């Protein structure tokens, strides 16, 4: 596993998370209060942690054969989706009044963190193939 790349990823992910959090904070001044879920501040560390764990697992397995990496990528993506779905369903069932803002916030963060992770993974695999 390339520890330097993982450390750089964590720093970049932290900066990305702070920027997303700042954007969310600024939007609270311009959009109505009911557009934001009270759980939104807790979603950032959740997505941050899951992204680091999955990314670390994937770059560790990138040293193996390409077929094995693809299988692990698919498995990690499936497990990540199941974890996300479980959190989403559990929260919506326990906080029905906050369902729509939570689902929208969750979806936006899911897309943002997934995009960030895929871009970083592509960069990592490109540098690994050049070695």
Per-residue pLDDT reduced to its tens digit, 105-130? 999 999 999 999 999 988 887 776 65
pTM exceeds 0.95 for this model: no
What does the pLDDT look like over 99-110, one tens digit per residue?
999 999 999 999
Q: Are 112 and 51 in contact (CB under 8 A)?
A: no
In angstroms, rounded to a whole number, what is the distance separating the alpha carbons of residues 55 and 42? 20
Exposed, middle or buried: residue 55 (CB in 10 Å: 0-12, 13-18, 19+)? buried
């Amino acid at each position: 596993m390339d520890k330097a790349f993982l450390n750089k990823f964590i720093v970049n992910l932290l900066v990305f998370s702070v920027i997303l959090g700042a954007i969310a904070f600024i939007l609270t001044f311009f959009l109505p209060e009911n557009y934001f879920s009270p759980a939104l501040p807790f979603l950032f560390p959740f997505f941050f942690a899951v992204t680091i764990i999955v990314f670390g697992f994937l770059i560790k397995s990138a040293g193996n054969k390409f077929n094995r990496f693809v299988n692990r990528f698919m498995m990690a993506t499936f497990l990540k989706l199941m974890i996300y779905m479980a959190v989403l369903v559990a929260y919506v069932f326990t906080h029905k009044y906050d369902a729509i803002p939570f689902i929208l916030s969750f979806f936006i963060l899911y897309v943002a963190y997934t995009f960030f992770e895929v871009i970083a993974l592509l960069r990592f695999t490109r540098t690994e193939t050049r070695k």
